[in-house]
Amino acid sequence: MVGSSSSSNCSSGKLFMWGDGDKGRLGHGDRDARLVPTCVAALVEPNFCQVACGQSLTVALTTTGHVFTMGSSVFGQLGIPQADGKLPSRVEGKLMKNFVEEIACGAYHVAVLTSRTEVTLGERVQMVD
């Protein structure tokens, strides 16, 4: 399905990525550039509602509140220490017990807002008034 944006598995709510694939930031499992929108084959099951991009990473939020990251992990920005970043990985840890409603991304960091109005940055959790 990689390279075929007309696949029946790539419908509404699916994640399409294209451009510079360096560091695996497109989630296609390689570092190749994509010149046309291409459905991320590893993520055809979940439906996505939000995407954020940093300098060398991409973060995607599903309609069920799960967060997937892909790309460079040099600064721990993927939230998964063992991930190589070539394929999208679901961020778990402290996020497993929370429904994520919003995601944001900087050049080398990610922040999420959960339904319990917490902003999670790495291992620290701060309540938002």
What's the pLDDT tens digit per position in 38-76? Answer: 999 999 889 999 999 999 999 999 999 999 999 998 999
**Order of strands, edge to edge, in the sheet holding 67-71?**
48-53, 57-62, 67-71, 89-90
- Predicted local confidence at residue 70, as pLDDT: 94
Cβ(61)–Cβ(49) below 8 Å? yes
pLDDT at residue 91 greater than cutoff 50: yes
pLDDT at residue 93 greater than cutoff 70: yes
Cβ(70)–Cβ(58) below 8 Å? yes
Report how many helices (DSSP H) and strands (DSSP E) the chain contains, helices first: 0, 10
pLDDT-derived band at 33, boundaries 50, 70, 90: very high
pTM: 0.79
| Residues 6 or more apart whose Cβ sits within 8 Å of residue 88 | 27, 40, 42, 43, 60, 68, 69, 70
